[in-house]
Amino acid sequence: MKEVRVIKPGVVIVDRREERSDVPSLLIKRGLSVRFDMLEVGDYALLGGILIERKTINDFISSILDGRLFEQALNLSKASSNPTFIIEGRIKNGLAYFENANAFWGALASLLYDFNVKTFFTESAEDTASLITVISKRKKGTEEDVWVKPKRKKATINELQIQVLTSLPGVGPATAKRLLRALGSLRGVFNAEPNILSIAGKISLQKSMKIYDLINAKYGEDVGSQQSKIDGF
């Protein structure tokens, strides 16, 4: 049975795994009513169908590098009408992990335009708490929402195929869809020559060569020398 609650302005439902962070206590100090629960998706549920995933800047970078980011964005957007990321920490520190900053900005652009996930940046837990407080109280009067506890939905085959391809450096959801439509399957993509990848994905031959090299690289061989190829995306 689905768990249904009413969320009013000034009320926030917080995932229990967030109890260890400073944010919930800061929310209480700012006058919010905090209710803890186990959320399968997201960290904070607010009025207006808003579901917030809070990440430190280091976690955000890690999720870009290991391909988790877009899967998390997909789950969040399925569970909420207003999926939201709050990235906590200095952007400058995060950019230091990338030789090419376009990978960072590309991931951010994909969140906004491909997944329609609203994304905010804060520098500290205090800033995060202030932002959540403002969002929670932005509606006045007696407005309230009926809140159904979100659950992660199973991905379809097509969504899983897109997730596999977006785990490749430099491949976003739009490119993944073009490749699958043109080549028919993951096997078709993985067996394609660079020129075919370039035409099917509408990407540069240089990028398609890098994708081809990554797909066909033998595991464990000369790992160090291959890092520059990945950083070059």
- What dotted CATH number matches 157-231? 1.10.150.20
- What dotted CATH number matches 4-148? 3.40.50.10130
Query: What are 191-208's pLDDT values in tens digits?
Result: 999 899 989 998 888 888
Quick one: pLDDT at residue 145? 57
**Alpha helices, DSSP H, located in 45-192:** 57-65, 68-79, 91-95, 102-113, 125-136, 157-166, 173-183, 186-191
Range in 48-62, 69-83, 157-171 the model is least confident about: 157-171
Give the number of C-alpha atoms closer than 13 A to the C-alpha of residue 170, restricted to the C-beta side: 23
In the chain, what are the domain boundaries? 4-148, 157-231
Question: What is d(CA 130, CA 136) in angstroms, rounded to the nearest whole number?
Answer: 10
Quick one: pLDDT at residue 183? 93
End-to-end alpha carbon distance in the chain: 46
pLDDT band at 142 (very low <50, low <70, confident <90, very high): very low
pLDDT band at 149 (very low <50, low <70, confident <90, very high): low
Q: At what angle do helices 173-183 and 157-166 cross, to 10 degrees?
A: 120
Among residues 92, 86, 94, the alpha carbon closest in space to that of 126 is found at 86
Give mean pLDDT, residues 86-108: 83
3-state secondary structure of 50: strand
Question: What is d(CA 177, CA 54) in angstroms, rounded to the nearest whole number?
Answer: 28
Tokens of 82: 């207003």
Asked if domains 4-148 and 157-231 share a fold, the reply is no
Quick one: pLDDT at residue 147? 56
